[in-house]
Amino acid sequence: MKHACTLVLITVMAFVGSASPESAGTSEREVRKTLSDFIRAFDNLDWERFRSFFADDAKVFYPREFPRRADGRPEFERNFQKVFERIRAGRSEGPYQDVQPRDLEIQIVGDVAIATFHLDDRAGFLNRRTFVLRKRPDGWKIIHLHASEVAIPATR
């Protein structure tokens, strides 16, 4: 029994040790680069590049225009194509916008990353974003995106 407990303790310590600060730092750098590349694709309305950041089964909540959750690629792409058309507004040359994340925080738990930030892109509102990404063989993929906004109380 004592031998079994020792073996379990060694196994647990090896598992915890495998999530070293170096690997967590590497994962965070990878997630930051993924988000930066995603935002650049979105700023430029580069459809093929933009859509490549999502897992096929991703879920998306939009801040205004689409009240229901989009479940999976066909739904979220249909909605994002409408968003792209609205942002493009007939123009043919980008960048079409300048998304500037504020207060970016990233939490890494194994092969999952949660990134949250704010956007100041609509007067009187604070826009909030939460991205959940999962590390896959082809890189970090967005599996959930939640976009919401909250009115900022007027200051006197």
Q: How many domains does the chain have?
A: 1
- pTM beyond 0.95: the answer is no
In a domain, 87, yes or no: yes
Q: Which segments within 20-111 are labelled E, that is strand?
A: 54-61, 70-71, 102-109
Distance (Å, whole) CA 46 – CA 36: 14
In a domain, 156, yes or no: no
- Which domain range does residue 87 map to? 2-151
Distance (Å, whole) CA 130 – CA 99: 14
Q: What tens digit of pLDDT does each residue of 40-73 get?
A: 999 999 999 999 999 999 999 998 889 999 999 9
In a domain, 117, yes or no: yes
CATH number, domain containing residue 112: 3.10.450.50
Q: What tens digit of pLDDT does each residue of 117-135 get?
A: 999 888 889 999 999 999 9
